[in-house]
Amino acid sequence: MLTILVPTIGRIQKLTRGIDSWIRCIQSAKAVDKVTILIADNHSTDGTAAYAQSMALQHSFIRYERQLAFCPSAEDSIKAASQFCTTQYVWTFGDDDEVSENALTVVLEALQSHPRFLVVNMNCRDGDRSIPGFDVDSKIIQYPTGWPLFQNFGVTSGTTCVSSICVPLDFYKDPILKNLNTVSPIYSLSCALLVWSYNQPVTLVGNRLFDYFYNVPTEELGRITGLAQSNQQLPHYYWHLGLLNLLRSVSQHTGISLSELLLMREPISRGVGAPEPLGREYKPCIEFIALYVDKEMNASFVEIQNRRTSLHELIVNIQSAFSEWTGVDHSKSFQTIHRYLCQLEHALAALPSRSMAGTWARLRLRWGKPFSKLDELTKSWIKESNRT
């Protein structure tokens, strides 16, 4: 009935703890004949293959498969590994996460209602500290359609955590996942789930059934910015223009306006890897995008010089998105992004055409004059907001 799909690459010590937790869970639920653990190895070189093959010999419910080709992102790895699955449902699970002993009992019961997909709550852990993945009180929440779930929890956190997603195998065969992955791999899984379920019933299991361990922020940032740069994109591309392009595609497939999608509540974690208290705050998706447009400002002079075309693409695309914007309650978000884009535009305008002379500090002094097109758009938008 259910495959636990565990994509992995080069993290054998964490993988062994996660698999041990699953063995205890399956035995506790007496579900040996109902569940398969599939370890999908993305060309590890640290002994993962030997370990997984050994576990498969010891336990009839464990399988090992090696990816046919190296997968550059987690989304690519999950999509590729799904071809090895044969059960009705697939629960993806991170190789560094650990499941609770009662998880299967709860999830197998929830699957009896045949939801379009199932979201499982978690403990988000940073060392000895933890917070719930979803701030909910109920044990089971039945949503008549998936759209309210995404309105509440967005597409960049809980619904993109691989360990919280349990879907029918048919989801991975649907062309929408491949199409969105082509648009931008990061967040493509969550956005595809939104398209897949926006008008279909979904279930959120409020019980915290596994421990999700935060990645070291610098490692996570390095992995995704490295992927962007290998694809000749701006370092933070997947968090701003990539996400915006995905939302455009979601809008086209569902009929949900881009304005509504930009108002989804995105959880932003605080205190991970830092001494401050662990927590999160919710911001509209538009502010999440603004945050990473701002981070792009920290690029070095050389990066700005080399990526002039990509920065112009960022400006033009986000400007175009705002031409469709109708959310009157978030003028501050709009003006914040407008300011960032003005700064980027003037940084580009200030670049020397013949030499690398000048410094980033000197460019900052030239950001005073507003970019005319965006300035006109801001004035007309604020005027319309006031009238409303």
One-letter amino acid of 360: W
Q: Which amino acid is at 252?
A: Q
Mean pLDDT of the chain: 80
Dist CA 26 CA 32 (whole Å): 6
Q: What is the pLDDT confidence band of residue 206, given thresholds at 50, 70 and 90?
A: very high
Query: Terminal CA-to-CA distance of the chain, rounded, Å?
Result: 53
Summarised one tens digit per residue, pLDDT across range 140-153 is: 999 999 999 999 99
Which residue has better confidence, 177 or 351? 177
Q: Give the up-direction half-sphere exposure of residue 372: CA atoms within 13 A in the CB hemisphere.
A: 1
| Tokens encoding 6 | 């565990």
Give CA–CA dist 101/159, Å, rounded.
22
pLDDT of residue 69: 92
Confidence check: pLDDT of 93 > 80: yes
- Residue for token digits 């082509």? 182
Whole-angstrom distance, CA of residue 329 vs CA of residue 347: 30
CA distance 168 to 236: 32
Residue 387 has pLDDT above 80, yes or no: no
CA atoms within 13 A on the CB side of 29: 22
Domains in the chain (CATH in brackets) are 2-215 (3.90.550.10), 218-387 (no CATH)
d(CA 355, CA 357): 5
User: Long-range CB contacts (< 8 A, 24+ apart) of 177-180?
Assistant: 177/79, 178/79, 179/249, 180/246, 180/249, 180/250
Is the pLDDT score of 325 beyond 60?
no
| 308-324 pLDDT, tens digit each | 555 556 656 665 655 55
- Hunting for tokens 């579900």 — which residue is that? 31
Cross-strand partners of 213? 125
- Dist CA 32 CA 357 (whole Å): 67
* pLDDT higher than threshold 90 for residue 329: no
pLDDT given for residue 174 in this prediction: 93
Per residue in 76-90, pLDDT tens?
899 999 999 999 999
For residue 306, pLDDT beyond 60: no
pLDDT value of position 99: 96
Run of H or E residues at 66: strand 62-66
For residue 312, what pLDDT is reported?
A: 59
pLDDT band for position 374 (50/70/90)?
A: very low
Structure tokens at 214: 């935060």
Give 239-296 pLDDT, tens digit per residue: 888 898 899 899 999 999 887 888 888 888 887 777 777 888 888 887 787 777 667 6
d(Cα 73, Cα 369) in Å, to the nearest integer?
Answer: 40
Between residues 252 and 222, the one the model is more confident about: 252
Look at residue 363 in the predicted model and tell me its pLDDT.
34
Low-confidence winner among 83-87, 100-104, 199-203, 374-378 (lowest mean pLDDT): 374-378
Q: How much is the pLDDT for 331?
A: 53
The residues facing 282 across adjacent strands are 267
pLDDT at position 288: 82
The whole-model pTM stands at 0.81
